[in-house]
Amino acid sequence: MKAIRLLNDVLGNSYFELGTLPEYHKIEVNYFNIQTKIEPWQQEQHTAPREQFVVTLKGKLEFTTSEGNSFIIEPGIILIAKDIEGEGHSWKLIEGDKWERIYIVPTQNDLDYFVAD
């Protein structure tokens, strides 16, 4: 499945990698939650509050890293948010007015199995 991993470099800047998540790998998780509400602070530049997988169910968004590079997230693309330090990222809806998503929080230090392109 297509995935994008959002990370920090050694200076704390956020950047992303394009890739995939292979099927059938079990990833230990602590919990997940569902969110449809969009808080104003979420669209401003911020770090991920924790390492997490973000599964978009509805919505198309443009994410922008602290270095100004952008990528698109939409249903069928899993975001692996690991930019928990530095300036972080921002995003905006580019189609529709809703973002329905599931946040899945893995067990700390568990592998994400991401395979870069």
Structure confidence by residue, pLDDT tens digits, 10-29: 999 999 999 999 999 888 89
Q: State how far the alpha carbon of 95 is from the alpha carbons of 23, 98, 99, in Å.
A: 29, 8, 10
Residue 108 has pLDDT above 90, yes or no: no
Q: Is the dihedral of CA 101, 91, 65, 8 positive or negative?
A: negative
Q: Which two tokens stand for residue 115?
A: 């395979």
Instruction: Find tokens 């509400």 and name the residue.
Output: 37
Residue 2 pLDDT > 80, yes or no? yes
Residue 75 to residues 51, 55, 59, 99: CA-CA distances in angstroms? Answer: 20, 7, 7, 10
Q: What is the pTM of this model?
A: 0.93
Pull the structure tokens for residue 68.
């100004």
Q: Which of 114, 104, 105, 90 is nearest to 5 (CA)?
A: 114
Nearest Cα neighbor of 50 from 93, 103, 116 is 103
Average pLDDT for the chain: 93
User: Percent of the chain beyond pLDDT 90?
Assistant: 82
Count each helix (H run) and each strand (E run) in the chain, helices first: 0, 8
Domain 2-116, CATH class in plain words:
mainly beta
